[in-house]
Amino acid sequence: MTTASRRLAPGRIVLASHNAGKLREFDELMAPFGFDVVSAGALDLPEPEETGTTFEANAELKARAAAEAAGLPALADDSGFCVAALDGAPGIYSARWAGPDKDFAMAMRTVAEKLSAAGVAQAEGARASFVAVLCLAWPDGHAEFFRGEVEGEIAWPPRGDGGFGYDPMFRPDGHTRTFAEMSSQEKHGWSRTGPALSHRARAFQAFSAACLERA
């Protein structure tokens, strides 16, 4: 991994994702910095197979593939929902638990069923976290990584219709509502000077400090 930070000038950047929810979040996060965010899906770039065994490895695979194909800097996110009583599962396999149809209602039921099978009396209140790793890759091969995590507990049954993925079943520490019950601004909990709340916003805050913000 390359550790030296490289400043990113405003302009076009590829979000190495076909996920509409992620594109919406990154559009909101990047807007104050003057970037034109275009998704890999909009550019008709293929999705590389995620063969990595860590969030960092999978983020790098996606970012490098998009940067090389588009000839532009590319930002990739690999994130997952990690349940303590399930030894961190689904983790890097969070999207796969939703199946080819991206059925996250099914994925959330699977989490509850696996907790029951593991001897957890009820899903409500079980400890969990969200993890996000961002990789910024350049066409010349330079890459940087930024990690964000947020701790909390499972809400069961799931609540709220905002956000995406496992958001309806995650209640961050210090809050009474799930991510899916919050507005996107509340979920991010982020500004250039304030603290971040979500895992993705925390990773983005580290990324923006290293690569976007100017003195």
Q: Are the beta carbons of 88 and 63 closer than 8 angstroms?
A: no
C-alpha 132/C-alpha 79 separation (Å) is: 4
- Rounded to an integer, what distance in angstroms lies between the CA atom of residue 215 and that of residue 211? 11
Sort strands 12-15 and 74-83 into parallel, antiparallel or unpaired.
Answer: parallel
- Please say if 78 is a catalytic residue: yes
Cα-Cα end-to-end distance for the chain: 26
C-alpha dihedral, 183 to 152 to 23 to 92, nearest 10°: -160
CA angle 19, 206, 168 (to 5 degrees): 40
Q: Which entry of 78, 87, 101, 173 is annotated as an active-site residue?
A: 78
CB atoms within 10 A of CB 129: 20
Tokens 């796969």 correspond to 96
Please state, in angstroms and as integers, the Cα–Cα distance from residue 82 to each residue in 56, 64, 106, 122, 129, following that order.
15, 25, 16, 17, 5
Of the candidates 213, 209, 204, 206, the residue with the CA atom closest to the CA atom of residue 77:
204
List the catalytic residues: 78
